[in-house]
Amino acid sequence: MNPLLISGMNLIGLICGAAGSLLLAYYGLPNIKVLSSGAYTEIDITPEIQRSQRFAKYGIWCLFVGFLFQAGAQLAELCLA
């Protein structure tokens, strides 16, 4: 595998991880179980809460994708060695 491709995979992983971290730092972790269980039946879920939950989920996915890219780059580097 091309070393430039490995570096590119690692860079994409770092960018995705940084974006996910920033999203989670700004919007917080999504509270999926509490909001979906109906525990807060008296609280209206506003569009702002929905947007915050959605971006928090995007942040978790960005972290996951970034981890996959970085792990793939490391595995490819190990295979080349």
Number of domains in the chain: 1
Domain extent, residue 36, equals 3-80
Is the model's pTM score more than 0.85? Answer: no
Higher pLDDT, 38 or 61: 61
What is the predicted pLDDT for the residue at 42?
61
Residue 77 and residue 81: Cα distance in Å, rounded? 6
Residue 76 and residue 73: Cα distance in Å, rounded? 5
Q: What is the number of alpha carbons within 13 Å of residue 45 lying toward its C-beta?
A: 15
Contact between residue 56 and residue 29 where contact means Cβ atoms under 8 Å apart:
yes
Residue 74 and residue 7: Cα distance in Å, rounded? 10
What is the predicted pLDDT for the residue at 19?
97
Task: Give the confidence band of 37 by pLDDT, cuts at 50, 70, 90.
Answer: low
Please say if the pLDDT value at position 35 is more than 70: no
What is the predicted pLDDT for the residue at 80?
81
**pLDDT tens digits, one per residue of 5-33:** 999 999 999 999 999 999 999 998 877 66
Q: What SS3 class is residue 68?
A: helix
